[in-house]
Amino acid sequence: MLKRLRGYRLLTGVRGTAAVNQPLLAEIICRLSEFAADHADRIAEVDINPLICAGDRIVAVDALVVRR
């Protein structure tokens, strides 16, 4: 699914930056999805912005969780 993103090229390393660890990014996305599904009765929405990805370093800088 990551390869279908419009900005996928940015994950492969551009302008001298390291490529993002795509398996790690996919794992983080899956875990967030599992968390949201496990707590669907209590969570209306989750917003993570920005998610900074550089090589093996993937950091959620800010997040908003809206409760039901």
pLDDT in tens, 31-67: 999 999 999 999 999 999 999 999 999 999 999 999 9
Tens digits of per-residue pLDDT, 51-60? 999 999 999 9
Report the distance separating Cα 35 and Cα 45, nearest Å: 11
Chain segment 4-27, per-residue pLDDT in tens: 999 999 999 988 889 999 999 999
Query: For residue 14, what pLDDT is reported?
Result: 87
pLDDT computed for residue 15 by the predictor: 87
pTM of the entire predicted model: 0.86
Q: What are phi and psi of 57, to 5 degrees?
A: -100, 115
Amino acid at 51: L
